[in-house]
Structure 1
Amino acid sequence: MACVDFAYDPTDPNSIIEYAKRLEGHTLREMSNAPELPDPTVRRGAFGNALEKYYFGYAINSDSAPDFAEAGLELKSTPLKKTKKGEFVAKERLVLSMIDYMSVPDETFETSHLLDKVRRMLLVLYQYEPEKNPVDYAIEFAGSWSIPEEDLPQIKKDWETVVEKVRSGHAEDISGSDTLYLEACTKAANSSVRRAQPFSDVPAKPRAWALKASYMTGIEQQELEKSKRIKRKKGEEELPIIELIRKRFEPYFGMSQERLMTLFNVSASKNACARITNLILGIGEKDKVKELEKAGAKPKTIRLHKDGRPDQAISFPAFDYFELEKTPFEDSDFKAQLEQLYLFVIYREQDDGTYALSDVCFWQMPDKDVEEGRRCYEAMQRNVRNGRADITVKSSENRCCHVRPHGRNAADTRPQPHGEPATKKCFWLNQGYLKEQIAQTLERC
């Protein structure tokens, strides 16, 4: 490491962290001799590369060893963005290291290359602003960070879920929807690149270990200090999140909504079931649940008829026809909505027509079905471009999704780019699709 002219000791983690702390509240332009990026449109990795080269003074490399090997520190920088409410959220996942399909089956989580890589990190958080050159991004935080002890059981569960697919010869089936905190994200120059896997002749996409953006938001937001963690009892320290949640719910399975409302002293309201969910988890009615915040999971009450069909489809907010026309699916709110992770709290219809609490599960749309969502989105997009925003996409036309009106009545309209105002509409998940997905998910629980 060529850091002779830099004011830190590369063998001393405290010296490195103290040196990094100087960055807070400043930019790389202010704190180093980093030049302006020649082409501001080439941004991915630009800040991290400049940070390594011009502030810490070491050559950029792809070595699997920690960046500060003698001090046992791994340097990671990741962008934040501000929401319309002025809150910081993670702009993207935090990529940790490539997955070696050939060697990872021989590891355990405790001896894994991943755990060694992330045992202690030097984390630098900066505010991404598209109009600025990366050397002018404001640095909000720089300091030592490691995965909280209470998150390790879920991280381990996620790691084992991915590695088990490699061991069974199905690395090609790995999906971001398999896991909660840690994911195996695709990592290649283009979508055609494939790598060999040890127990199958079918090549698989290259993937890297990464902490999900929702998890990083949970780590980064100071607001989450106001959220509440599910209290673990003795013997529950190693339970993954879904097992912990199910353990809290199991004593109440079979109870009707009315019985639960009486038990927890919850008054009748539209959000009565949501309030019951929090109280079962030992959280205040209005508090956020830290484990769910980190997983990016949205609690959702689902009522199933006797045949397993939901009593309602899941709808998303009404879309703007002008935005729909110009926004590619990849950048759309709808794609983000399809990738939402849910905690389904399930009530089943009983013989007397009432609904009783029956199960809980996490669900996220599989990657292959997101592509079905793309077809629905682009079909509606073509309708709008043709001046026919009045035409919907029926559930019979798409296995997963459809479009239908979402206004108060036929007079509740929005303008469209190429025709008369049309009734407000939104995307929905099909009831039949949800029935199939919930049944499959519960089978795996």
Structure 2
Amino acid sequence: MDKNGLPYNPTKIESIVEYAGNLVGHTLREKTSAPELQSPKRRRGSFGNALEEYYFRYSPNSESAPDFPDAGLELKSTPVKHNKSGELVAKERLVLMQINYMTVVHETFETSHLLKKAKKILLISYVWEKDADPLDYKVEMAELWGLPEEDMPQFKIDWETVVSKVRAGHAEDISGSDTLYLEACTKAANSAVRTPQPYSNIEAKPRAWALKASYMTAAENKLREKRQAIARTEDENGLGLLALVRKRFKPYFGMTQEEPCRRFSIGMSGKNLPKDSCALVTKSILGVAKDAEIDEFAKAGIQPKTIRLKKNGRPKEAISFPPFDYFKLEKTPFEDSDFLGYLQQMWLLVIYREGCDGIYKLSDVTFWQMPERDIPEAQRCYEQMQTNVRRGHAEISVKATENRCCHVRPHARNARDTRPQPHGAPVVKKCFWLNASYMQKEIDGALGTDSHN
């Protein structure tokens, strides 16, 4: 027992971490005297508050100083959940600290409050279960952790991307899709709240620095999964991820899709290339084993995808997502939908352009994620199709002319490839698609932005 009556020494990191380890495999109900929750509305954040107050025995606060100031250690708790495959993944982003627009403009990344806050973190993850009392969430991990040194180049780019908008007087234009690992997430009691920014009279949404859920999944599963980082040469150490990927892909620009596959012996025994040929070529070009995950991609939630652009720059094919279940679509709000998850996916677009000879050749690569400003338009498409299903008209799709970003149409082998619906006869399988015209503008914009990086 510490002289302050604590069951650990708050000045020693080793003592704090060792004490935290006693929670692994247990719940707060088993290890503390935390009282029952007074209201279900208090459940969000209640695990973290109870962890601080009843296990570590200090009062929860929003101070900028570390939670264990004498040890220079920050405490962060984060939920994980089982996905459809039974694997543990991060349920949500990990919020690190509020962004102060008025002061962050005077910082550099190296001197930032963020870097000080995230230098040493006691990371405690617990398994979230729907409808379970937070006191009954089982603690899955308690580890000393900090932002990895190998990820600092990308963290710096992400930080500077956000701060540059504040310095330009455009904090209101910040979007989660601007960045890869670190994001400036909205942080307010409701969506109407606004706060001043230093170089504009337009008030902006309050935001906080956070690590994306995909990054947290990769960080927490580092020891559980086979993952391989991209080996960098000395002159590549300061490059951001996109610059590194483009540098590695550049020697292959001008090749047809089949040529890298032949070079790396990918799927050349059959007539058609395998569906995962883009991912396999990407791994081969980046020097990652074909049976391993790319560590940097896992952290940013990036998936490679081949895009063919016609001579006029318009995608040859619209981008499709997996067919949806009509029963699930009827009942699931957009905020909880698989469709929103697909839209929040970060893509490595491997771009092949059509030449004057009609042959498509590798021309560029870029990262893309649907900007936050377009999510409401996609939501409108989702809810329009949802209404069709609820009214017993699942056969009616949302046309590309009805929505700027996306539409619905069949995604089936033939007219007999159907799925049941709640209010009528089975209907041909359908899915959401991103409009080719929309993607043309987005790709043009992404490549234009990349050229200035």
Q: 1:402 aligns with which of 389, 401, 407?
A: 407
- Counterpart in the other structure of 1:285: 290
1:95 aligns with 2:95: yes
SS at match of 1:230: coil
CA deviation profile, 1:110-138 (whole Å, cap 9, x unmatched)? 00000011110111111111232111111
Q: Secondary structure at the match of 1:102?
A: helix
* Equivalent residue, structure 2, for 1:57: 57
- Look up the SS of the partner of 2:288 in the other structure: coil
- The equivalent residue for 2:80 is 80
Write the deviation string for residues 40-90 of structure 1: whole angstroms up to 9, x where unpaired: 453111000000000111111111111111110011000010123221100
Alignment match, 2:300: 295
Name the SS of the counterpart of 1:235 in structure 2: helix
Change (3 A) 1:283 1:238: same
Question: What secondary structure, in the 3-state scheme, does the structure 1 residue paired with 2:228 have?
Answer: coil
**Conserved 8 A contact 1:95-1:209:** yes
Contact 2:278 2:304 in 1 (8 A): no
- 1:289-324 CA deviation, whole Å, 9 max, x = no partner? 111011001110111111111111111111111111
- 2:369 maps to 1:364: yes
CA contact (8 A) 1:274 1:301 kept: no
Following superposition, the deviation at residue 430 of structure 1 comes to: 0.6
Q: Distance between the aligned counterparts of 2:12 and 2:417, measured in 1?
A: 65
- TM-score, structure 1 length as denominator? 0.97
1:167 aligns with 2:167: yes
Contact in 1 for aligned 2:230/2:296 (Cα 8 Å): yes
2:278 is matched with 273
Q: TM-score w.r.t. structure 2 length? A: 0.95
Any idea what SS the aligned residue of 1:54 has?
A: helix
Deviation at 1:329, TM superposition (A): 0.9
Name the SS for the 2:440 alignment partner.
helix
Partner residue of 2:28? 28
1:286 CA drift (Å): 3.4
Match of 2:39 in 1: 39
The range that moved more, 275-284 or 93-102, is 275-284
Would you say 1:349 and 2:320 are equivalent positions? no
Partner residue in 2 for 1:122: 122
* CA offsets 1:173-212 (integer angstroms, 9 cap, x no match): 0000000000000000001000000000000000000000
Q: Is 1:253 the counterpart of 2:258 in the alignment? A: no
What is the alpha-carbon distance in structure 2 between the residues aligned to residue 224 and residue 360 of structure 1? 30
Count how many residue pairs are aligned between Structure 1 and Structure 2.
444
User: Any unmatched runs of 5+ in structure 2?
Assistant: none
Which SS does the other structure have where 1:106 is aligned? coil
Contact 1:3 1:56 in 2 (8 A): no
The equivalent of 2:9 in structure 1 is 9
Shift of 1:282: 0.8
Does the Cα contact within 8 Å between 2:182 and 2:211 map onto a contact in 1?
yes
CA distance in 1, matches of 2:144, 2:94: 15
Match of 2:190 in 1: 190
Which of 411, 418, 436 matches 1:431?
A: 436
Is residue 325 of structure 1 aligned with residue 327 of structure 2?
A: no
Tell me which amino acid in the other structure corresponds to 2:107.
E
Question: Partners in 2 of 1:272 and 1:223 — Cα distance?
Answer: 27
How far off its partner does 1:227 sit? 1.7
Cα deviation, 1:359-393, whole Å, max 9, x if unaligned, reads: 11000001111111011111111111111111111
Shift of 1:223: 6.4
Identical pairs, percent: 61
**Pairwise mapping of residues 182-261 of structure 1 onto structure 2 (< 5 A)?**
182-222=182-222, 225-261=225-261
Contact 1:79/1:90 (<8 A) preserved: yes
Counterpart CA distance in 1 for 2:283 and 2:417 is 35
- Residue identity matched to 2:438: Y
Helix, strand or coil for the counterpart of 2:129?
coil
Amino acid at match of 1:386: R
Please tell me whether the aligned partners of residues 121 and 146 of structure 1 are also in contact (alpha carbons under 8 angstroms): yes
Matched position secondary structure for 2:216: helix
Closer, same or farther: CA 361–46 of 1 in aligned 2, 3 Å = same
Give the conservation status (yes or no) of the 8 Å contact 1:399–1:433. yes
- Following superposition, the deviation at residue 224 of structure 1 comes to 5.9
Contact 1:347 1:358 in 2 (8 A): yes
The corresponding residue for 2:148 is: 148
Letter in 1 for 2:106: D
Aligned partners of 1:303 and 1:348 also within 8 Å: yes
